[in-house]
Amino acid sequence: MSRIGKKPVTLPSGVSASVSGQTIEVKGPKGARTFSATDDVTLAVEENIVKVEPRGTSKRARQQWGMARTMIENCVVGVTTGFKKELEINGVGYRAQMQGNTLKLNLGYSHDVDFTAPDGVTITAPKQTEIIVEGIDQQLVGQVAANIRKWRAPEPYKGKGIKYKDEFIFRKEGKKK
74 shares its domain with 89? no
pLDDT for position 9: 92
Helix (H, G, I), strand (E, B) or coil at 68: helix
Taking only the tens place, the pLDDT of each residue in 92-122 is 999 999 999 999 999 999 999 999 999 999 9
> Domain range for residue 95?
83-164
User: Domain containing 45 — which CATH number?
Assistant: 3.90.930.12
63 shares its domain with 103? no
H helices, E strands: number in the chain? 3, 13
How far are the Cα atoms of 33, 41, 42, 138 from residue 134, in angstroms, in the given order? 15, 31, 31, 9
71 shares its domain with 16? yes
- Specify if 173 maps to a domain: no
What is the mean pLDDT of the segment spanning 77-92? 95
If we measure between CA atoms, which residue out of 137, 139, 151 comes closest to residue 87? Answer: 151
How many domains is the chain partitioned into structurally? 2
CA 40 to chain centre: 25
Does residue 174 register a pLDDT over 70?
A: yes
What is the mean pLDDT of the segment spanning 34-58? 92
pLDDT band at 75 (very low <50, low <70, confident <90, very high): very high
- Specify if 46 maps to a domain: yes
pLDDT band at 18 (very low <50, low <70, confident <90, very high): very high
Does residue 78 register a pLDDT over 90?
A: yes
pTM of the model: 0.88
70 shares its domain with 103? no
91 shares its domain with 115? yes
56 shares its domain with 108? no
